[in-house]
């Protein structure tokens, strides 16, 4: 960070301050604090219970879909609010595009886990995740969009 600037010279602050890029990101720190307060008010046990309820519901809804491969623990209590999967031979990027057309955001790709993808012998996976703002009705819409993708790709 600069200590002083005049017409012909710049004076840098002493170490370690001279390496700061400028004003610290105060607004995001304040927002982060508000997020922590919100989660403390909700209670992390309530967050986990809701997340687990949604994962259980989603796993029940998708486990018998033709062509569905679910990766990770089979017991919802052994996983977080994330389900990695593949649907038949639909490439995850294509599936993400179809889901987006339905207003549903999923992740697709190798998720920075190329070693795991090689172990699973897949090029990529799709990933849906749930949190306190998600509902079972949204999971139902997700399943409907999966059915539309299956019809489109004739699975």
Here the tokens at position 77 are 């209590």
Tokens 């409907």 correspond to 144
The DSSP code sequence of 28-85 is HHHHHHHHHHHHHHH-HHHHHHHHHHHHHHHHHHHTTSTTEEEES-SSGGGS-SEEEE
Q: Which strand ranges, in their side-by-side order, compose the sheet holding 68-71?
A: 68-71, 82-87, 125-129, 107-109
| Alpha carbons 56 and 150: distance in angstroms, whole number | 22
Q: Do 81 and 129 contact (CB within 8 A), yes or no?
A: yes
Residue 149 CB-density burial (10 A; 0-12 exposed, 13-18 middle, 19+ buried): buried
- Identify whether 125 is a catalytic site residue: no
Query: Of these residues, 112, 115, 151, 154, which one is catalytic?
Result: 112
Catalytic residues: 112
């Amino acid at each position: 960070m600069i200590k002083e600037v005049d017409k012909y010279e710049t004076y840098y602050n002493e170490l370690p301050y001279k390496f700061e890029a400028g004003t610290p990101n105060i607004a995001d720190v304040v927002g982060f604090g508000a997020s922590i307060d919100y989660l403390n008010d909700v209670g992390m046990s309530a967050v986990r219970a809701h997340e687990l309820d949604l994962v259980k519901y989603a796993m029940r809804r998708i486990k018998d879909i033709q062509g569905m491969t679910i990766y990770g623990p089979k017991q919802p209590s052994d996983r977080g609010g994330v389900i990695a999967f593949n649907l038949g031979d639909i490439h995850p990027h294509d599936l993400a595009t179809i889901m987006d057309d339905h207003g549903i955001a999923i992740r697709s790709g190798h998720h920075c886990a190329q070693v795991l993808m090689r172990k699973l012998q897949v090029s990529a996976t799709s990933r849906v995740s749930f949190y306190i703002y998600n509902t079972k009705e949204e999971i139902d819409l997700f399943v409907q969009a999966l059915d539309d993708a299956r019809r489109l790709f004739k699975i």
